[in-house]
């Protein structure tokens, strides 16, 4: 009975977070739709088919219906081609880059935190900590250019296209993910959070007693650190996507950031809305994932 009640409470908490995420998606897309609707000229409205609607709400409702039916570029008439050849590959590429960046940031933070905690009075710990903060202060595009110059042996080895995506001899998504993971400053923030959690947990009486008996305590320490680490890491997804625009521009990669800039320059309103919707949905999903992690590792936070 207790287990069933706990699962039910977790489900209610996750559904509540999912509802809030849905509201976030609707409000963000509606705000952008209102700005674009009133910011376009009569000629642009006619080209987009928006002049047929009496108001912005009716146009927005029709756009939502078109999205639900898979018409991602309903105003330009090439919805299927746009989704298949542009939106889907760009979304997949951006997700891979962001995933690599998250993993790189987490690995750097874990390694550095453990070193700093075990060598708290060493000069190397002080230098390592300052290097992490310094890497976050350097603009992402500087680090991207540094990687570009290091890997670009000559013009023929720098290849980024739809069939073969390499930078030098290294897969482009790994390079982009490393640039984001190092230059975003997230590793420094995670190190600070994890180091604080390690210090707090290792000073708990039951941990001290366990260590005195030479019992294994690291599984308890890591479990207690999951929530602050996941909350900090997942909260940085919008920043990773935004910084990814710069990285994609430097390396010529066709991700969501590259696409939204190209469509904005061409005033492709429907395509911009579709890309924005994908980004907002990704951000909303991270909220749900974070809630699942929180209530799984700490059921006391079900509300």
Say if residue 26's pLDDT is above 80: yes
More confident residue, 217 or 74: 217
The DSSP string of 110-166 is HHHHHHHHHTTTSHHHHHHHHHHHHHHHS-HHHHHHHHHHHH-SSTTTEEESSS-EE
Backbone angles phi, psi at 160, to 5 degrees: -135, 105
Bridge partner list, 165: 160
Query: Over the chain, what is the mean pLDDT?
Result: 76
CA–CA dist 297, 188 (Å, integer): 24
pLDDT digits (tens, 9 = 90+) for 145-182: 887 777 765 444 454 544 446 665 667 778 888 888 88
| Collapsed DSSP state (helix, strand, coil) of residue 167 | strand
User: CA dist 190 to 48, 181, 215, Å?
Assistant: 45, 11, 27
Cβ(269)–Cβ(29) below 8 Å: no
- Note the pLDDT of residue 27: 85
Angle between helices 172-183 and 140-151 (to 10 degrees): 140
pLDDT digits (tens, 9 = 90+) for 42-67: 777 777 667 777 778 888 888 788 77
Cβ(177)–Cβ(103) below 8 Å: yes
CA–CA dist 147, 100 (Å, integer): 16
Bridge partner list, 170: 167
Question: What's the rounded mean pLDDT across residues 111-127?
Answer: 82
CA–CA dist 172, 162 (Å, integer): 11
pLDDT digits (tens, 9 = 90+) for 225-275: 777 777 787 778 778 887 888 888 777 778 888 888 887 777 777 777 788
Residues 200-215 as b or e (16 or more Cβ within 10 Å = b) = ebeeeeebeeeeeeee
Q: What domains appear along the chain, each with residue ranges and CATH number?
A: 1-76+277-303 (no CATH), 79-267 (1.10.3720.10)
């Amino acid at each position: 009975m207790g287990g069933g009640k706990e699962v039910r409470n977790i489900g209610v908490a996750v559904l509540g977070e999912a509802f809030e995420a849905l509201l976030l998606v609707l409000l963000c897309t509606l705000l952008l739709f209102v700005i674009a609707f009133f910011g376009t000229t009569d000629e642009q409205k006619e080209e987009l088919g928006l002049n047929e609607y009496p108001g912005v709400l009716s146009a927005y409702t029709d756009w939502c219906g078109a999205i639900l039916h898979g018409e991602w570029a309903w105003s330009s008439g090439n919805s299927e081609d746009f989704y298949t050849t542009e939106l889907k590959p760009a979304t997949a590429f951006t997700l891979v880059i962001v995933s690599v960046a998250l993993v790189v940031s987490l690995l750097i933070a874990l390694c550095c935190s453990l070193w700093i905690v075990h060598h708290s009075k060493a000069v190397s710990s002080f230098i390592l900590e300052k290097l992490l903060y310094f890497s976050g202060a350097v603009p992402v595009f500087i680090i991207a250019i540094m990687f570009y110059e290091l890997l670009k042996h000559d013009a023929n080895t720098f290849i980024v296209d739809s069939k073969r995506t390499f930078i030098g001899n290294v897969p482009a998504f790994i390079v982009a993910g490393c640039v984001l993971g190092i230059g975003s400053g997230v590793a420094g923030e995670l190190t600070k959070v994890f180091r604080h959690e390690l210090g707090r947990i290792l000073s708990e009486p039951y941990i001290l007693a366990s260590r005195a008996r030479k019992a294994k305590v690291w599984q308890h320490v890591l479990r207690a650190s999951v929530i602050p680490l996941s909350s900090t890491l997942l909260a940085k997804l919008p920043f990773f996507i935004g910084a990814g625009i710069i990285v994609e521009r430097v390396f010529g990669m066709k991700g969501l950031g590259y696409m939204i800039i190209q469509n904005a320059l061409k005033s492709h309103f429907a395509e911009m809305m579709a890309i924005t919707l994908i980004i907002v949905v990704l951000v909303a999903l991270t909220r749900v994932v974070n809630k699942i992690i929180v209530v799984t590792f700490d059921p006391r936070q079900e509300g």
